[in-house]
Amino acid sequence: MKWFARKRNVRSLLTGCLFSLLCLLAITSQARDLNTITVGIISPRDGSNQTLTGESHEESIRLAFNHLGPLQVGDLQIKLALSPWNDQGKPDVAASGAVQLARDEHVVALLGPVNSGSTKETLKVLRTEQIEIPVISALSTAPELTYSGARDKNFFRLIFDDADRMGQYATFIKQEKGKQGDQHFLFLYEDSPYGEGLMLSLKDRFYTPNVVARSWTSIVHEPCSKNGFPAATPQEAMRSGQCFSEDFRKLIEPSDFDNIVLLGNTSGSLALVDGLNAANLANNVDYFFVGSDKRLFDEAPTGSMTIGDPVLDFQRAPTPELGNDWRKLLQEFEERAKKDHEDFVMTAYEAAMVLHSALRIVLSNERTLPEIHELRRKLLHTLESETFDSLEPWRTISFSHGKLDQIPTAPIYRITRGVNREDAINPHPWVGLAVKPYSAWLEAPVEVGFSAHGTDKARLAVYRVDKTTLHEHLIEERTLQFLSGQTREQFHLLERGLYRFRMLDVPFYPVLTETRVDLSHHYLISAIAALVGAILAVSHASFTILSRFMRILTGMASGLLLTFASFYGQQLSSWMPFPSFGSEPVINAMLTGLIGGLIGPQILTDLLLTWSKRLLIPGKPG
């Protein structure tokens, strides 16, 4: 019976231990979840003709978060997790995914969707479901997404819209064709919000009225056969050259069109060119495309022009250092994503940068991680009101009603069997700022390094940030003069807190250049060393208890003052003999504190007593 009882006790003990272990694991798992912020990514992957774009969009975001690292809330480190959703390029799938990510995955923001149709449907469904969450798209270019009065308050665009890009294209085509006499253009556009938006934006800004516009479906008759068999897709119908309508043939065969502008996706645009060639139509014309993917560069007619999406071109970097940084970033993308560096989506990387910076601002004064609804609300406010870094240091990222204040440049290429950039290189003046993120209080003036590009003089402002309201208060303004593009400035920031530095007349990088001035442990080390020195100094002398106490306090004050002179005083003057014991602050604090503690109780106290007696009792010797 004792054996069975013992066995039963052991089994109960093991069961209890196992239950405790499971509870501990559950608590640990819950704590891990509480220390994680999840970000949703919506991209077309498998099952879409935009698979390459979707994969590049997601990989560019993943690379950015891999570089950015965790966040802090008080002493707690917050991890960032990514939750992807494949919308297959279909608006309804994108919208349902957004709702699922917001409700089930509790994502704090959505990066995507990629195409404008999916973005419109996503915003519509989120409104219907009354879900407030930032939707940050790196590639949706439909102008109506940010129309005044029609823009959804959740939406932010990291790229130019079609109107901005087509405005750049219209200016370039005028420079390219305006001197060649009377030119005629045929616009062929995709039947989609994307294609129609491109056509309307370009036509509104075009330099000549000699324009005829036709949609892709309007130039193909139905039903259509290819080599005697029904065409499986509209693209096959266009590519065959046998399916163009009679109206289209009558329009183009006797016409004097010098240029054809293809406004739509790469696959459809190339199918149209193949069809025109197969039908022996539109010979000796110049083609203008939209897009910059590898297939377009490989298959478009030699000599064609195309306008692409924003690109990180390390060969056009204004400094070798920046060019090397960009090259390393693109090489890492190639290694990680197994793609060409031309597939890197610059604006997707910047979207991740912006979201990470906004989260850092929101969480900077939080002690615990806010509830998801509160975190989303604060993020929306921060995105609307703050300024963020871009990969191009001459351009900052800020939003006005969801639209970029400073849009990136749209690259224009001439397609050879290599690719040449045709848009001009514009010199962009900017100033790089460098400051340590943490500065120890009363240990040295805060030093900021400046590197100027394209400017000799600039104005700088220093702001102190109110820790409660986060409002910035101007502390100082000064004018900087650059010698060989460089200068360093010291700032005596004698109050603890967060300080920001920003240029007033030129762009600067990084945008959030700031330092937190706060206590370090060095003065505590100095105080302890001074206490030890003071106790040693008074231990062999006959003083009253009160006198000992006062002399020990004087010794500690002497040690701290000597430490301050060693840390900070040397920066104020090069000729005053301030004490120093090397560049290691711990050793410096320890030795200066000890010396101050040893000399303070005797020499300094006696000196103070002598002078106080002379001041209080004139004429009487001390």
Q: What is the CATH number of the domain that holds 436?
A: 2.60.40.10
Domain that holds residue 571: 522-616
Q: Are 510 and 465 in contact, with CB atoms under 8 Å apart?
A: no
CA-to-CA distance for 495 and 465, rounded, in angstroms?
11
Same domain for 134 and 57?
Answer: yes
CA distance 588 to 578: 12
8 A C-beta contact, residue 405 and residue 383? no
Co-location of 507 and 534 in the same domain: no
Write down the pLDDT at residue 68.
92
Has residue 133 been placed in a domain? yes
pLDDT at 551: 80
Q: What is the pLDDT of residues 460-514, one digit of tens each?
A: 999 999 887 778 899 999 999 999 999 999 999 989 999 999 999 999 999 889 9
Closest to 547 (Cα-Cα) out of 555, 618, 598, 622: 555
What is the pairing mode between strands 185-189 and 259-263?
A: parallel
Token readout for 334 is 């190639």
286 and 332 part of one domain: no
Answer yes or no: is 281 within a domain: yes
My answer on whether 249 and 275 are in the same domain is yes
The answer to whether residues 361 and 489 belong to one domain is no
Are 288 and 262 in contact by the 8 Å Cβ rule? The answer is yes
Q: What is the pLDDT, as a whole number, of residue 32? A: 39
CATH number at residue 393: 3.40.50.2300
Domain membership flag for residue 262: yes
Q: Tell me: the pLDDT tens digits for 195-246? A: 998 999 999 999 999 999 999 999 988 777 555 555 567 788 888 888 899 9
Pair of tokens at residue 197:
């938006």
Mean pLDDT of the chain: 86
Examine residue 17 and state whether it is found in any structural domain, yes or no. Answer: no
Helix pair angle (51-68, 320-337), 10° resolution: 120
CA distance 117 to 90: 8
Q: Is residue 219 part of a domain?
A: yes
Residue 194 lies in a domain: yes
Decide which of 483, 501, 518 is a domain's last residue. 518
- Burial of residue 510 (number of CB atoms within 10 Å: 0-12, 13-18, 19+): middle
Low-confidence ranges of the chain (pLDDT < 50): 1-8, 10-11, 13-32, 574-576, 622
Instruction: Enter the DSSP assignment of 281.
Output: -
What is the tens place of the pLDDT at every residue in 434-449? 999 999 888 888 999 9
pLDDT above 70 as % of the chain: 88
In a 10 Å sphere around its CB, with 0-12 CB exposed, 13-18 middle and 19+ buried, how is residue 414 labelled?
middle
How far is it, in rounded angstroms, from Cα 93 to Cα 46?
Answer: 13
Are 139 and 183 in the same domain? no
In order, the DSSP letters of 148-194 are: TTTS-TTEEESS--HHHHHHHHHHHHHHHHGGGSS--EEEEE-SSHH
Q: Tell whether 166 and 300 lie within a shared domain.
A: yes
Write the CB contacts of 473 (distance below 8 Å, at least 6 apart in sequence): 463, 464, 465, 466
Residues 61 and 147 in one domain: yes
| Number of compact structural domains in the chain | 4
Cα distance between residue 110 and residue 133, in whole Å: 7
Question: Do 144 and 39 belong together in one domain?
Answer: yes
- Boundary (domain end) residue, out of 283, 307, 331: 307
Tell which of 503, 518, 533 closes a domain: 518
Task: Show the 3-state SS of 518-563.
Answer: ECCCHHHHHHHHHHHHHHHHHHCCCCCHHHHHHHHHHHHHHHHHHH
One domain, residues 278 and 193:
yes
In degrees rounded to 5, what are phi and psi of residue 5? -65, -40
Residue 167 sits in the same domain as residue 297? yes
Select from 96, 226, 111, 97 the least CA-distant residue to 157: 111
Q: Domain check: are 297 and 325 in the same one?
A: no
Q: Is 8 a domain residue? A: no
Please check whether residue 197 lies inside any domain of the structure.
yes
Q: Is the pTM of this model over 0.85?
A: no
State how far the Cα of 128 lies from the Cα of 96, in Å rounded to an integer. Answer: 12
